[in-house]
Amino acid sequence: MTTSELAPADAAQAERARAKKRAQARAALLRQVLRWHWISAAVCLVGMLLFAITGITLNHAGAIKAEPKTVTRESVLPEPLRPALQAAEAAGGVLPEPTRQWLAREMQVKAPAGAKVEWSPGEAYVALPGPGSDAWVTIDTATGDAAYERTDRGAIAYLNDLHKGRNTGPAWAWFIDIFAIGCVVFCVTGLILLQLHAHARRSTWPLVGLGLVIPLLLALFLIH
């Protein structure tokens, strides 16, 4: 066999080797993308359901009826605890720890450490808002008279506030950020999978484009 006859065979073999490497690289990429896609889907599944459902309830908040429930409590701060409260009033500081412990024990009021206190002459006022609820407690610094009121607006309002991150604290704020990153991973890996399989599904990119064009047109022409 001559050299001229061997060259085309060698070239074809080299091309097959290159094609095999490309196929292996594509398969490895597909496996990796699929792995991240299902992991992010599993992690974000419940959160996406929650945010999707509460997106509907927020969009129709005016049509959802709820009956707020209000709870009130009254008590008197013991006299030995009042000097510390009066000193905090003079300094414009936070509630003293003994006062916080007394509120938790006697009035079932959980005032967080470092909670902002609005001081007025002879009175401490602490707002205690939470998801789906509003609450406050006041203490007369001279007489020790304490009053607490809490208004709950129901489970839907609670879930809506979780959606908005309203009065939910730093832990939930971190969850929302991490959840959002998981959703980005889910969407990006989904886009890569669309790209890898688009040759077999001609409607892929028209549908993706439709998902962009519809909200864009709504934003441009129907939102005022």
H or E stretch covering 49: helix 3-59
Report the residue count for the chain: 224
DSSP 130: B
pLDDT at 1: 47
The CA-atom distances, in angstroms, between 57 and each of 64, 141, 154, 166, 173 are 8, 43, 13, 15, 21
The set of long-range contacts for 87-91, using a CB threshold of 8 Å and a minimum separation of 24, is 88/117, 88/124, 89/119, 89/124, 89/141
Strand partners, 157: none
> Between the CA atoms of 30, 31, 34 and 40, what dihedral angle is there, to the nearest 10 degrees?
-130
Tokens representing 172 are 């939930």
Q: What is the pLDDT of residue 201?
A: 87
Q: What pTM value is reported for the model?
A: 0.80
The series of mean pLDDT values per 10 residues for the chain, 224 residues long, is 57 78 83 94 94 95 90 96 96 95 95 91 96 96 97 95 94 95 95 89 92 93 86
